[in-house]
Amino acid sequence: MMNFMKKGRIVAAIAATVLAFTACAPAADSGAGDDKITIGATFPVLDAFLQKVADGIQAEADAQGAELTLVAADNKVDVQLSQVENFIAQGVDAILVVAVDTSAAGPMTDAAKAAGVPIVYVNRNPAQAGVPYVGSNSLVSGQLEMEQLAKLANNKGDVVIMQGEVTNEAALDRTKGCEEKAAAAGMKVVKIGTANWDRAQGQKLMENWIQSGTKFDVVCANNDEMALGAILALKAAGKKLGVGGVLVGGVDATADALASLEAGELATTVFQDASGQGSGGVKAAIALINGESVPDYVDVPYQLVTLDNISDFKGK
């Protein structure tokens, strides 16, 4: 059995593909052998939010004295599978995955299981029995967001929903949460459009809706980036934002979103604990390496963010 608390050189490799860079920390002797945990982590991309997840993984790996290799798959399923296979060939002790496509995660799980390498999914849930997922219940985020938007709108008006990538359970569940709470408030969803988690695509989608004459009062976006894109388009079209105008909500509570909320543009967002998800993924992986039991679902709760509690989420 390797000594998992042995501190050694820590490597962090972050890349748009399997290319990596290396960062070293001084070795500290714990009085045992030179073996240390090695963990491979693969991401779809490293955008503003997922970079925070990666930072959480790195911080926990540092704290555990582990060697971490972190790569990104350029949003390509085949590239991500190859990265997992490369990790297995390199002999890593565990693999962390933020899936490009949660519906296509099976081959990665199968490859890891066949090699006897523990695999943990983080942030995006492929819902595979016997495989831990560390993250949040996406349905809850959509419910929290739309419930607050409905409250601000006095349960009146029409709703449009900006959806992330439809191959991701987070997009489907957040959309479902928005739909459920809109219906509960007696509000009608008049459009659902996909903008793939992206600010520029969110701006373009909103421009299309405005130009087509779609009438709406509330924008329930699956994430902050799309919400901020919608706000850019609404401002360019001269639309009033906030109570008495168009209410726009998002999910993630990124720094840009919090600034927009304070500026009176974004109506609400929902905090997703990126650092907690990353840290929890490493802890779950190390527990599996040590032969310990880890539940299929490790919850990292969402929290609603408003002007009343915004200070609690700055810098997180």
38-135+274-299 folds as Rossmann fold (3.40.50)
Query: Among residues 163, 136, 140, 164, which one has the least CA distance to residue 275?
Result: 136
As a whole number of angstroms, the distance between CA 52 and CA 276 comes to: 9
- Measured distance CA(133)–CA(122) in Å, rounded: 6
**How many Å apart are CA 192 and CA 222, to the nearest integer?**
11
Residue 95's H or E segment, with its range, is strand 94-97
How far apart are the C-alpha atoms of 224 and 240, rounded to whole Å? 19
- Domain range list for the chain: 38-135+274-299, 138-271
Look up residue 220 and give its two tokens: 């329930």
Tell me the pTM. 0.78
pLDDT, tens digit, for every residue of 214-229? Answer: 999 999 999 999 999 9
Pick the CATH number of 138-271 from 3.40.50.2300, 3.40.50.970, 3.40.50.670, 1.10.10.10: 3.40.50.2300
Alpha helix segments (H runs only) across the chain:
48-64, 77-90, 106-115, 138-152, 169-184, 199-211, 224-236, 255-262, 274-289
3-state SS assignment for residue 110: helix
Three-class secondary structure of residue 162 per DSSP: strand
DSSP helix/strand/coil, 273: coil
Per-residue pLDDT tens digits for 251-292: 999 999 999 999 999 999 999 999 999 999 999 999 999 999
- Residue range 66-78: mean pLDDT, rounded: 97
